[in-house]
Structure 1
Amino acid sequence: MATQMTTIRFPSDVYQRLKKYAEDKHLSVNQVVVESVSQMLSESSVSKTTIESRLILNEVIPPKKIFAESGLVLVNGIYYRFLTNDNQPIIPDTSYVVVEAVGNILTIQSIRK
């Protein structure tokens, strides 16, 4: 995928909050911004979201909260069934991010380092 570079100006306090959020989620600031903008621009996220899906989209799931044997993940204290976005098995010791939520089934994507 081709990328385009741009400059974005953030108020200092907003940038500091963004940076802390990215660090807490073990993501780069760039990843957080790209995922957030992609989600905002996605037609499905605008027209078909529920409050619950908005609360869990882009949540990072650490490996210890992914139970591949049972097909469950623990997100915000709730167990959900999951699918991987590429239909591949879970990669051990890898964090995943929630990219879609439909009912009680989440689609998760591995976070590549």
Structure 2
Amino acid sequence: MKKVMTLSTKMTTIRFPEDVYEKLKKQAAAKHISINQMVVESVQQFLEESATTNSTMESRLILNQVVKPDKIFADSGLVSVNGIYYRYLTSDNQAIQADMSYLVVEAVGNILTIKPIQK
């Protein structure tokens, strides 16, 4: 006897702007799936990517920020970005150059990786 696995589901109402709905409808038709399945798959993909990229609101706000030399405190190993102090690593593992600006390229917890901006 074959065992059938059933998934528990919840129903919700989502309101789309008409132009977004029409695009969604066309995409779903092109893939030969329902709009519901298209939305569920898209949300699942978003959640999986969010979980694996360590993408927090804070990291999105500080990534690609330029850090001026006066905001890098090499003696304490701290950097100030948007008024918050973080520990830092340099992308090339070199010492901080006092006259150079840096770009925030990664944020993991309270540690930023910064990369020198070449003049």
Same fold (TM over 0.5): yes
Q: How does 1:33-112 map to 2 (within 5 A)?
A: 47-112=53-118
Paired AA for residue 47 in structure 1 = T
2:46 counterpart residue number: none
Q: What is the rounded CA distance, in whole Å, between the counterparts of 1:92 and 1:68 in structure 2?
A: 9
Q: What is the rounded CA distance, in whole Å, between the counterparts of 2:79 and 2:108 in structure 1?
A: 14
Shift of 1:47: 3.3
Structure 2: runs of 5+ lacking an equivalent: 1-48
Paired AA for residue 101 in structure 1 = A
How many residue pairs match? The answer is 70
Shift of 1:84: 0.1
Q: What is the rounded CA distance, in whole Å, between the counterparts of 1:86 and 1:110 in structure 2?
A: 9
Paired AA for residue 54 in structure 1 = R
1:14 counterpart residue number: none
Paired AA for residue 56 in structure 2 = T
Structure 1 length-normalised TM: 0.59
Q: What is the rounded CA distance, in whole Å, between the counterparts of 1:48 and 1:93 in structure 2?
A: 31
Whether the 8 Å CA contact 2:54–2:108 is kept in 1: the answer is: no
Shift of 1:48: 2.3
Residues 64-95 of structure 1 deviation map (CA, whole Å, 9 limit, x = unaligned): 00000000000000000000001100011100
